[in-house]
Amino acid sequence: MTRSAEAFALENFALQCGTVLTRAQLVYQTHGELARGRDNAVLYPTSYGARHADIDWLIHPDRILDPRRYFVIVVNMFGNGLSTSPSNCEKCALAEQRFWFTHFDNVRAQERLLIEVFGIERLAMVYGWSMGAQQAYHWGALYPERVERIAALCGTARTTDHNRVFLESLRAALTADPAWTGSGFDGIPERGYRAFARIYASWAASQAFYREGLYYKLGYDSLEDYLQRGWEANYRKRNPHDLIAMIDTWLRCDVGDNPIYRGDYCGALAAIRARTLVMPGATDLYFTPEDCAVEAARIPDAEYRPIPSIWGHRAGNPYQNPEDAAFIRAAVRELLDRPAL
């Protein structure tokens, strides 16, 4: 059963950047029923730019997460425009004002939601793609005894330097727009959106995706049509401050950068107790298979299984791509069928 989205309020929530939010909120949606033993909960945090309704296509008896068996909680990341974000909270800002959200913030807030609303102390799985995978790794490291399994698709537990350059290019392109004031936007960044979408499109699918003209098979008339309708239109739906805020989170992603691990990235990965499926896209250009393999080797019970796909980063969210969806479904079912450690 799918209910409408709900909001969970957190009073005086202290963020890692130093700001205390008088009232933060997480918006979430649940699918299925929580078992009496509260042992069938799957947490599914959102990815960059996405809201819960953008990523829930895979929650279905025949797809990756079966809501007949699992109680799936899709939680919106801070900054995405539904949970607390610059677009809906005056006290929120951007890194220019020394304000940012971290995944440490996201995961601590999610933990309170699970306990206070549902009484869930252990998660059967955290499932996440991209920035969702980053949150999944944070869950595993920050609450080792409370996460039985992790499915981390196309994400790393720490943002690599190369990935940072990509993010800096996105940030610089959006803020090149005349509507940028130095601390925010005083209008719609028409040109910024245009540049932003083209950078994203260049990185998110592989060279082979373009070489084989897969965008034609998706119904676009031309490369320009694909860039405009397939990419730019989606980002234009998002508040530009929120787009920057989510980049600010991504730039700071490091599972060891928090008061628990105090910079010990390797220690944080080594602390993960969950059975962990590390599942990059074989052609992902920014969360590369190589970077994911190194992290898998640092996690005690990790399986490294790349998705053999030319969809690049998008292999991990294959709503237009049944072949990759089937590969992921099989791997996730195997993971779920293994007993918890």
Euclidean distance between CA atoms 299 and 156, whole angstroms? 12
Residue 22 or 207 with smaller CB distance to its own copies: 207
Mark out the alpha helices in 175-239 (DSSP H runs): 190-204, 207-211, 214-217, 223-225, 233-236
Figure out which of the listed residues 32, 155, 192, 256 binds its own copies, where binding follows CB under 8 A: 192
User: Phi, psi at residue 281, to the nearest 5°?
Assistant: -80, 135
Mark out the alpha helices in 205-254 (DSSP H runs): 207-211, 214-217, 223-225, 233-236, 240-251
Q: In the numeric block, which tokens belong to residue 85?
A: 């974000």
> Is 254 considered catalytic here?
no
- The answer to whether 168 contacts its own copies (rule: CB under 8 A) is yes
Distances (CA, A) of 75 to 52, 130, 268: 7, 14, 23
Mark out the alpha helices in 85-130 (DSSP H runs): 103-113
What's the min distance (Å) between Cβ of 168 and its own copies?
A: 5
User: Phi, psi at residue 278, to the nearest 5°?
Assistant: -95, 110
Single out the catalytic residue among 103, 138, 241, 313. 313
Q: In the numeric block, which tokens belong to residue 147?
A: 């996460």
- The answer to whether 213 contacts its own copies (rule: CB under 8 A) is yes
> Is 130 considered catalytic here?
yes
What's the min distance (Å) between Cβ of 266 and its own copies?
A: 16
What's the min distance (Å) between Cβ of 221 and its own copies?
A: 14
Residues 31-90 that bind its own copies (CB under 8 A): none
- The answer to whether 234 contacts its own copies (rule: CB under 8 A) is no
Q: Please name the residues in contact with 319: beta carbons below 8 A apart, sequence gap of 6 or more.
A: 57, 58, 325
What's the min distance (Å) between Cβ of 313 and its own copies?
A: 13
- The answer to whether 166 contacts its own copies (rule: CB under 8 A) is yes
What's the min distance (Å) between Cβ of 280 and its own copies?
A: 12
Figure out which of the listed residues 17, 95, 201, 270 binds its own copies, where binding follows CB under 8 A: 201
- The answer to whether 130 contacts its own copies (rule: CB under 8 A) is no
Figure out which of the listed residues 37, 290, 337, 339 binds its own copies, where binding follows CB under 8 A: 290
Do the strands 6-14 and 302-304 form a parallel or antiparallel pair, or are they unpaired? Answer: unpaired
**Given the rule CB under 8 A, which of 62-70, 120-128, 155-163, 273-281 is the region that contacts its own copies?**
155-163
Segment holding 294, helix H or strand E: helix 289-298
Euclidean distance between CA atoms 164 and 253, whole angstroms? 10
What's the min distance (Å) between Cβ of 164 and its own copies?
A: 6
Q: How many residues bind its own copies (CB under 8 A)?
A: 38
Q: In the numeric block, which tokens belong to residue 187?
A: 């209008």
Q: Are 183 and 96 in contact (CB under 8 A)?
A: yes
Single out the catalytic residue among 47, 85, 130, 309. 130
Active site residues: 130, 284, 313
Contacts with its own copies by CB under 8 A lie at 160-162, 164-166, 168-169, 172-173, 175-178, 180, 189, 191-192, 194-195, 198-199, 201-203, 207-211, 213, 223, 227, 285-286, 288, 290-291
